[in-house]
Chains A and B, each alone.
Chain A
Amino acid sequence: MTNSINEVEDADLFFVTGTNTTAQHPLIGSRMINAVERGAKLILVDPREIQLAKFAHLHLRQNIGTDVAVLNGIMNIIIEEDLYDRDFVENRTEGFQELKAVVSRYSPNVVEQISGIRSKDLIEAARMFAAADKAMILYAMGITQHVTGTDNVKSCANLAMLTGNIGRPSTGVNPLRGQNNVQGACDMGALPVVYTGYQKVVDAAIKDKFEDAWGIEGLDDKPGLTITSMMSEAQKGSLKALYIMGENPMMSDPDSTHIELALSNLDLLIVQDIFLSETASLADIVLPAASFAEKSGTYTNTERRVQLSHKAVDPPGQARADWEIVQDICRLCGYPMNYKSPADILDEINRVTPSYAGITLERIEKEFGLQWPCPNQEHPGTAYLHKDQFTKGLGTFLPCEFKPLAEVPDQEYDFILTTGRVYFQYHTGTMTRRISLLEREAPEAVVEINPEDAKRLGIKTNDRVELSSRRGTIRLKAEVTDRVPKKVVFSTFHYIESPVNLLTNPAHDPVAGIPEYKGCAVRIRRCA
């Protein structure tokens, strides 16, 4: 997030797209609802009628995968009606003419044809957004899990800059991150292109710096493989060994049949986890890890706040903390490390990572964490980014054209399947499916289907249905509901009994490598 969770309470308007916030980030969702009850406006752009729709002043239900067209349409109206922030655009941005040229092609009528959103509603949304003094854009995987995910995010950033809604409290472009330390994993350089704090692996000076810090030579200066490419290289046979710590790609990655082939083709698969996940079952070696309650360490939340978590109990049996296992393997491979505790590692992170330099153990122990960038011990941390200027100086508008889904429905596969999570379960279910209350409330996979479609196909709530794509077939229970529009079905990836990622399309965003979980072509029929 460019801004902070606390600032949600003071926003004048929320533009919420691709986040089912009350289900997936309940504590941010409830803050939004509080603000709406106090008088803030809520524009929801989401094909599904999620819980937040009840609180929305305007709910735009776009056709799946048409986000760029919708955002361009809104910007076009704001420019045409001269409602944009001239001061901000002139003093802090570049590329306005290029943006104007692109979005001018997205008149309300054109956008209505692409997205299904009525012109009148689009115009109302644009005016409402432009009228707000402090507008916060909040999004999540609903817009990023598309082949156009990067374009969707750029378009959100364009809208924020056009209206001067960035660099001030209660504004900004705010991705809500889905896992407790996905922000931290990125910050720590668990990415193929960067070291900690987004220092690039291709930068010779950065490479030198890490060779010095780590006392070695010959660091790789070329970008590595993303998770999606790792799987295809494994299937081709050029990737021989994969070491997976705390992830379950058999359930979380698209087109699971292809993932299983890839993993079985490896010479060596090492999986380190707290449970024998679907992925661990395929491993050559399984290493038992400690859970969050059995070790100390820091985690970085969606607002960039680095927080300390303490050890409450010992791990079961012989299980050990992930850092201890990794340190042992490094030693056995001829690179001794001498960390006595996570605190020693944090100390090294402080030294090699400018944005984390001031986030020391002593400081976060005393307070409720610190938000990066925090470049030195005296720095108070940063509640919101881009205050007086952008990191690169001027903010550049990066206009995008609308592109359709990679796989559009046809006669054979005539529905769009979109996937997500439900309130009571979490990700691949390894943790939440072992919690009795959550399992009681959401014990099995359900596919949502619109009443009109259901009637035509003779499907009733609780019927068993068969859902198929070009990649596979699953069986699960139907729920007939207006929550989904016509010709769209929704399901989740929590359940091994009905693994929805057998069906999803691995086509991915060319820049970010994110697969298009939010739309693939399927057919649905009642089980005989």
Chain B
Amino acid sequence: MKKTSAICPFCGCGCNFYLVSEDDRVTGVEPSPNNPVNKGMLCTKGWNSYEFIHSPDRLTTPLVRKNGKLTVSTWDEALGIVSARLKEIMAQHGPSALAFLSSAKVSNEENYIFQKMARAVFKTNNVDHCARL
């Protein structure tokens, strides 16, 4: 059994807990007793937050729409299409024809690299996330 310190994925409280895992499976959470945010407590959502991690519905491969249907693909194919199409649309219609929606659920580092992509690579400030929603 392994314990890994993590931050709850739900609301903005930012409760600290330990993900309890066995091999490659998270089996539960334990609140962190000493941190100043939740001081050893968690709400029902926090206590149960590990369960969706291993949901059978998780996406496990890239999907590409072919003949109207999302079809199992590979990273090479999917990222090849993504980069080619983004470059093509930018060349044809300019940077303002592209937009990027980042996420209040991913890390700071991922938000940083995402807005950097929009701005540095595609030269647009069309980048936002769901803070308003």
Contact = CB atoms under 8 A, between A and B. Distances in A.
Contacts of B53: 291, 293-294, 313
Given A225-B128, A252-B133, A309 B105 contact: no
Nearest to B38: A27
Given A286-B62, A368-B37, A241 B75 contact: no
A273 interface: yes
A177 B12 contact: yes
Interface in A481-528: 508, 512-515, 517
A317 B12 contact: no
A283 B65 CA distance: 8
B111 A302 contact: no
B86 A243 contact: yes
A188 B123 contact: no
B101 A227 contact: yes
A436 B109 CA distance: 31
A308 B133 CA distance: 25
A110 interface: no
Contacts of A316: 54, 58, 60
Point out which of B25, B37, B107, B125 has the most chain A C-beta atoms below 10 A from its C-beta.
B107
A219 B60 contact: no
Contacts of B122: 333
Interface in A279-317: 280-281, 283-289, 291-303, 305-314, 316-317
Given A230-B128, A424-B44, A309 B89 contact: no
A246 B42 CA distance: 24
Interface string B22-55: 0011100000101111100111110011111111
Given A245-B114, A299-B107, A312-B26, A25 B12 contact: yes
A218 B90 CA distance: 14
Contacts of B87: 333-334
Contacts of A307: 7, 14, 16, 37
A226 B83 contact: no
A225 B96 CA distance: 9
A270 interface: yes
Interface residues of A, number: 143
A304 B45 CA distance: 22
Contacts of B117: 326, 329-330, 335
A426 B104 CA distance: 13
B102 A214 contact: no
A437 B53 CA distance: 15
B26 A313 contact: yes
Contact of A312 (B6, B51, B129): B6
B131 A182 contact: yes
A243 B98 CA distance: 8
Please classify how large the interface on chain B is, using the bins under 10, 10 to 19, 20 to 34, 35 or more: 35 or more
B110 A239 contact: no
A330 B113 CA distance: 9
A340 to B, nearest CB: 12
Nearest to A513: B132
B129 A190 contact: yes
B26 A326 contact: no
B113 A300 contact: no
Contacts of A188: 102, 108, 111-112, 115
Given A227-B128, A287-B62, A346-B109, A27 B13 contact: yes
B6 A292 contact: yes
Contacts of B119: 195, 210, 214, 219-220
A320 B131 CA distance: 24
Contacts of A311: 4
Given A219-B120, A293-B6, A426-B10, A268 B89 contact: yes
A368 B16 contact: yes
A224 B128 contact: yes
B26 to A, nearest CB: 5
A218 B21 contact: no
A113 interface: no
Contacts of A508: 132
A326 B127 contact: no
A376 interface: no
Contacts of B8: 180
A349 B104 contact: no
B5 A253 contact: no
Point out which of A311, A345, A346 has the most chain B C-beta atoms below 10 A from its C-beta.
A345
Interface in A164-188: 176-188
A323 B59 contact: no
B128 A285 contact: no
A220 B125 contact: yes
Nearest to A243: B100
Interface in A321-376: 321-323, 325-330, 332-335, 337, 339, 342, 345-346, 348-349, 368-369
State the 9 A-B residue pairs at the shortest beta-carbon distance, nearest first: A317-B60, A301-B14, A297-B107, A224-B125, A246-B103, A177-B12, A26-B43, A332-B83, A190-B102
Given A27-B42, A185-B111, A316-B54, 6 more contacts: A182-B130, A224-B125, A303-B37, A346-B108, A431-B52, A432-B45
Interface of A: 4-6, 24-28, 30, 145, 176-193, 195-196, 201, 210, 214, 216, 218-220, 222-228, 230, 233-234, 238-247, 249, 252-253, 267-268, 270, 273-276, 280-281, 283-289, 291-303, 305-314, 316-323, 325-330, 332-335, 337, 339, 342, 345-346, 348-349, 368-369, 423-424, 426, 431-432, 434-438, 441, 508, 512-515, 517
